[in-house]
Structure 1
Amino acid sequence: MASSTTPFTAAVDRPLPHAEGAKHSWLEVRGVRLHIAEYGTGAPVLLLHGFPQHWFAWHRVATLSAAGHHLICPDLRGFGWSEQTRRGYDIDGLSDDVLALLDVLGLDRVYLVGHDWGAHVGFRLCLRAPERFGGYLALNMAHPWARQRAILPNVWRQWYTAFVEYPVLGRAVLRHWPAFTRFLLRHQVADRSLWRADELAEFSAAAQAGAHAGQDMFWQYVVREIPALLRGRWRAQQLTVPTVLLGGERDNVIPPSMLAGGESHADDLTVRIVPGVGHFLPRESPQAVAGAMRELFATGR
């Protein structure tokens, strides 16, 4: 396992934020240096962050969950302190990175947690390689079988993606308009005063530094994932990994109505709605996330 105190060509070139108990390393994965933060010892749990965040998104959950678990929090390719590349930000490419990371770490099977885009990658991983995951906790993301009658009335909620997804424009917005990222962070939680000033500064700066990765990830969804969904790519796929899907009652990006309808495509899927919170469950209700982790991963339900 290769490690270093300084990554090569990282998305972010400033010091790592402090998180009690976190250990940091950089690993060579599919020819790319990926940064990981690790907490605790015990059963391995892989946690995948969303946009516009990185490993630090999990630090509040980690303080509640590290006992008895080995939490592994990677920065996805091009985000945080992982290396930026020109390509590789589509969901299958990011999934390939995660599976290769598990191989580098020597882990045959782990528990999985994903938030937002990380949860989208998580669903793909559980469909592609279910044998690698003992249980999956998905946060603030629709499953691959969301019903059209739930999607269509909520398409307007994705208005902000028009400022991010297009080549050139999206990179310019993320790189030169950090107030836009701060607005999204505030807009997507139920209580806007929840964010500390240093957290807003950290994640808006991360979006600036990883502007290419952020823009291309959204664009690849447009050109790859939307056509695949329209073709019904996942219609015949069955989710066999025991899964709990947590949503926020006041999530204005992925509302509760978009989380229903996946039970017929899964062997064991439970949907729960956390009252009074929005789209950033790891920040708004780390206790609910930690509690769901303990229940799902302890029982293997």
Structure 2
Amino acid sequence: MNTRSEPASECIRRRRIGNRVVAYRVVGTGPVALLLLHGWPQTGKAWRKIVPLLKSHATMVIPDLPGFGASSRPQSGYDKMTVAATMHDLMSALGHDSYHAVGHDVGGQILFPLAKLSPNAVTSVAFIEAGIPGLGNSLASGNPFTGGSWHFGFNMVPDLPEALLTGREALYLRWIFHRDSIGLVLGDAIDEYAFDEYVQALAAPGGIRGAMEHYRALPTDIEDNRRLAAEGPSPTTALVVGARQGVGLGWLDSVEESFDHVTSAWIEDCGHYIPEERPAELAELLLRHWRFHESRTVEP
């Protein structure tokens, strides 16, 4: 049995935000407030390798998204507009009036509504192997006939994943992480300690349902994103990071359609799980992104 414990500064805290409880960690002492939103099927633990690289630059708030980890698993409210409002309320409750936001995978899908809902608070966003459903050519990402992954459809089916995956959570996650397409290139990047946390979170009561509800909300997300995009692009500075053996920059056009100032970058020899496979390269890109944002906002 693994008895490893976290440093006191990284212990999980829990706070009620509206009708849900959000688990989160606060790490770092740097001057930049940073919200880190993990992807599917993970928890805030996915950022564990980024934390030591940024702790002197940023004060990081690292939540488990609703439905994941130690956060509550409500019956509804998994559309990204609702999740974005919850994340902003968390940052406000912690005293962060302005902050940068970074999202990997499904966490990245929260960034556009977050920037639109809280334009005066969100100073920059970074999409890591992520984009905006319903915009650009992003619908192709869920179509296996156009290079997308079949798991989009499977995860969206009501009840069936819960029936098939209960008791088989480790088998499913190991397949997801080690699949030939979009899986890990560095096979040991997700160690057994982190893998066990992801499995335990999925196996907890309501865990499979909570994880899948983020996919089941996609039709609502698409409608919301198109409505928000019709209002005009966000002035927030945006970065899109793609992995050469992952999704890559397949979502880039959706972000370019939605933000005025967009830059992009590749990470080589890496699969979909950039924060765990290539944390040093990602940290450097984020620091460069923030410097670029600051250079744009300096008064002449």
Same fold (TM > 0.5): yes
Aligned to 1:101: 90
Q: Is the 8 A contact 1:84 1:213 kept in 2?
A: yes
The Cα offsets for residues 241-299 of structure 1, whole Å up to 9 and x where unpaired, read as: 11111011111xx3324324643542210011111111111001101221122122244
The match for 2:195 is 200
Distance 1:118 1:67 in 2: 23
Asked if 1:122 corresponds to 2:114, the answer is no
Deviation at 1:113, TM superposition (A): 0.9
Amino acid in the other structure paired with 1:243 = A
- In structure 1, C-alpha distance between the alignment counterparts of 2:131 and 2:120, rounded to whole Å: 22
Distance 1:297 1:194 in 2: 26
Contact in 2 for aligned 1:36/1:55 (Cα 8 Å) = yes
Q: Does 1:77 align with 2:66?
A: yes
Q: Please report how far the alpha carbon of residue 219 of structure 1 lies from its aligned counterpart in structure 2 after TM superposition.
A: 0.8
Corresponding position of 2:54: 65
Contact 1:126/1:241 (8 A) holds in 2: yes
Q: Which residue of 2 aligns with 1:5?
A: none
Take 2:78 and 2:141, find their aligned partners in 1: how far apart are those partners? 28
Contact map agreement 1:244 1:296 (CA 8 A) in 2: yes
Structure 2 segments unaligned to the other structure (5+ residues): none
Distance 1:16 1:30, change over 3 A: farther
Question: What is the CA distance between 1:154 and its match in structure 2?
Answer: 6.9
Task: Give the gaps of 5 or more residues in structure 1.
Answer: 1-13
SS at match of 1:271: strand
CA distance in 2, matches of 1:80, 1:73: 12
Structure 1 residue ranges (4+ consecutive) displaced by more than 6 angstroms after TM superposition: none
1:1-301 pair list within 5 angstroms:
18=6, 21-42=9-30, 43-143=32-132, 146-148=135-137, 151-152=139-140, 155-156=143-144, 157-178=148-169, 179-187=171-179, 188-209=183-204, 210-221=207-218, 223-227=219-223, 234-251=229-246, 254-260=247-253, 262-263=255-256, 265-300=258-293, 301=296
Deviation at 1:197, TM superposition (A): 2.6
**What CA distance in whole angstroms lies between the structure 2 residues aligned with 1:15 and 1:166?**
37
Distance 2:5 2:292 in 1: 34
Paired residue type of 1:40 = G
Could you tell me whether the CA contact under 8 Å between 1:151 and 1:258 is conserved in 2? no
TM-score, scaled relative to structure 1? 0.84
Partner AA of 1:177 in structure 2: R
What is the deviation of 1:171? 2.1
Q: 1:233, CA displacement in angstroms?
A: 5.5
Say if 1:161 and 1:39 are closer, same or farther in 2 by CA, change over 3 A: same
1:225: how far off? 2.6
Q: What is the CA–CA distance in structure 2 between the aligned matches of 1:154 and 1:25, rounded to whole Å? A: 34
SS in 2 for 1:45: strand
The CA deviation at 1:235 is: 4.4
Whether the 8 Å CA contact 2:237–2:261 is kept in 1: the answer is yes
Displacement of 1:103 in angstroms is: 2.2
Secondary structure of residue in 2 paired with 1:234: helix
Q: Secondary structure of the residue that 1:206 maps to in structure 2?
A: helix
1:23 & 1:119 partners in 2: Cα distance? 24
1:232–1:110: structure 2 CA closer, same or farther, 3 Å change rule?
closer
Aligned to 1:291, what secondary structure does the other structure show? helix
Go from structure 1 to structure 2 and tell me whether the alpha carbon gap of 1:15 and 1:73 turns closer, same or farther (over 3 Å shift).
Answer: farther
Partners of 1:108 and 1:298 in 2: CA distance: 19
Q: CA RMSD in A?
A: 2.5
| Residue matched to 1:3 | none
CA contact (8 A) 1:17 1:56 kept: no
Q: Which amino acid aligns with 1:182?
A: R
